Amino acid sequence: METNTPVYTFEMVWQGLMENREQIKELTKNVYGISRSNGMMSEESIYNVLERDMTFAGVRFDVIEARVPIKDEKFRTLTDLDIVMHNSNVVAIVEVKYKVDKKDVRELITKKLHYFKQYFPLDIDYKIILGVGGMSFDDEAIEEAKRNGVGIIKVVGDKIEYHTEGIKTY
């Protein structure tokens, strides 16, 4: 019995896999670029608003910095702090994402705050407050932020909403 099933050689299959691999690489590069652009747009929008009035959670700040690297003793970058604001007794650390999820809030509280305290030892007793900012938030992220006393900065159209009630010092 004769069938019309095409016959593929190993070389033909391999060539197809390599073509797909290159297409996937290109697609991955494009998606990463879009994601990175969205993140940078979010950071810039929130930074500009904070820089304009230099306040967060009712606290007036003297200095604002963007993308502050935290480096270890061998000068390897461990992480970056998206926005840091400070005055003579309060430091605010704001993590910014395009879409904020629960993991981002937890990482700010556990990893980034820990690194900040470890690698930026403060000579006086600064109060540290935390915030998360973004274009959108999933519900779990908002609950996690509120539960842990982390302020929320949300871009809504061409306006910014602050939710800082219950913010705590670390």
Least confident of 5-14, 27-36, 84-93: 27-36
Amino acid, res. 77: T
Give yes or no for residue 132 having a pLDDT over 60. yes
Other C-beta atoms within 10 Å of 38: how many? 15
Distance CA 98, CA 109 (A): 18
Let me know if 137 is exposed, middle or buried by CB neighbors in 10 A (0-12, 13-18, 19+): buried
State the pLDDT confidence band at 125, using cuts at 50, 70 and 90: confident
State the pLDDT confidence band at 84, using cuts at 50, 70 and 90: very high
The confidence score (pLDDT) of residue 42 equals: 87
The confidence score (pLDDT) of residue 4 equals: 72
Helix (H) or strand (E) holding 132: strand 127-137
Domain boundaries, the chain: 10-163
User: Fold for domain 10-163?
Assistant: Trna Endonuclease; Chain: A, domain 1 (3.40.1350)
Q: Report DSSP letters for 23-44, one per residue.
A: HHHHHHHHHHHHHHHHHHHHHH
State the pLDDT confidence band at 161, using cuts at 50, 70 and 90: very high
Give yes or no for residue 80 having a pLDDT over 70. yes
The confidence score (pLDDT) of residue 156 equals: 87
Who wins on pLDDT, 85 or 3? 85
pTM given for the model:
0.80
pLDDT in tens, 16-66: 767 777 666 665 565 555 556 566 788 999 999 999 999 999 999 999 999
Q: How many residues does the chain have?
A: 170
State the pLDDT confidence band at 13, using cuts at 50, 70 and 90: confident
The confidence score (pLDDT) of residue 70 equals: 94
Distance CA 139, CA 108 (A): 17
Who wins on pLDDT, 50 or 13? 50
pLDDT in tens, 103-119: 999 999 999 999 999 99
